[in-house]
Structure 1
Amino acid sequence: MLVGVDQVQAIDENIQFYLFPHADSWYYSLLPIIKGITEFGSFNITAIVALVFVSYYGIFRKLYVNAYIVAVSFISMWSINYVLKILLRRERPELEQLMAAHGYSFPSGHSMIAAGFYGVIFVLLVQTIKNRGGSGSLLALFGALFVLLIGYSRIYLGVHYPTDVVTGLLCGAIWTFCMHRLLQEASP
Structure 2
Amino acid sequence: MHLRKFDYFQLAIALGGLAIFIIMAFGYVNNLSYITTIDQFGLHYIREPLTPERSWFFRNITRAGNTKWTALVMAITAIIAVLVRKWDVAVFMVVNVGVFGGGVMSVFKHIFKRPRPNIYHVIEQSGYSFPSGHALNAILLYGSLIVLVHYYLKSEDNIRYAFMTLFAALIIAIPVSRVYLGVHYLSDVLAGFGLGTFLLIMSKEIIFKYRTREVFENAQNSESGSNIAK
Task: Give the count of matched residue pairs.
Answer: 183
Structure 1 residue 15 corresponds to structure 2 residue 42: yes
Paired residue secondary structure (1:40): helix
Which amino acid in the other structure matches residue 110 of structure 1?
A: H
Structure 1 residue 62 corresponds to structure 2 residue 57: no
Give me the whole-angstrom Cα distance separating, in 1, the residues matched to 2:209 and 2:41: 43
Deviations 1:17-66 (A, max 9, x none): 2211444x5xx41212211110111111111111111111111x221110
Distance of aligned partners of 1:79 and 1:114 in 2 relative to their CA distance in 1, 3 Å threshold: same
When Rg is computed on C-alpha atoms for both structures, the one with the higher figure is 2
Paired residue secondary structure (1:36): helix
Give me the whole-angstrom Cα distance separating, in 2, the residues matched to 1:143 and 1:7: 31
Give me the whole-angstrom Cα distance separating, in 1, the residues matched to 2:53 and 2:150: 34
Paired residue secondary structure (1:97): coil
Deviations 1:62-90 (A, max 9, x none): 21110111112122221111111111111
TM-score by length of 2: 0.73
Q: Which moved more, 1:90-99 or 1:6-15?
A: 6-15
Q: Relative contact order, CA 8 A, sep 6+: which one is greater?
A: 2
Give me the whole-angstrom Cα distance separating, in 1, the residues matched to 2:60 and 2:128: 22
Q: Which moved more, 1:14-23 or 1:90-99?
A: 14-23
1:136-155 map, 5 Å:
136-155=160-179
Percent of residue pairs identical: 24
Structure 1 residue 75 corresponds to structure 2 residue 102: no
Q: Name 2:23's counterpart in structure 1.
A: none
Question: Unaligned stretches of 5+ in structure 2?
Answer: 1-25, 213-230
Alpha-carbon offset, residue 148 of structure 1: 0.8
Give me the whole-angstrom Cα distance separating, in 2, the residues matched to 1:126 and 1:86: 35
1:1-188 map, 5 Å:
1-3=26-28, 4-23=31-50, 25=51, 28-59=52-83, 61-76=84-99, 77-130=101-154, 136-188=160-212
The alignment's C-alpha RMSD in Å is 1.9
TM-score by length of 1: 0.88
Question: Unaligned stretches of 5+ in structure 1?
Answer: none
Q: Which runs of 4+ in 1 moved over 4 A?
A: 132-138
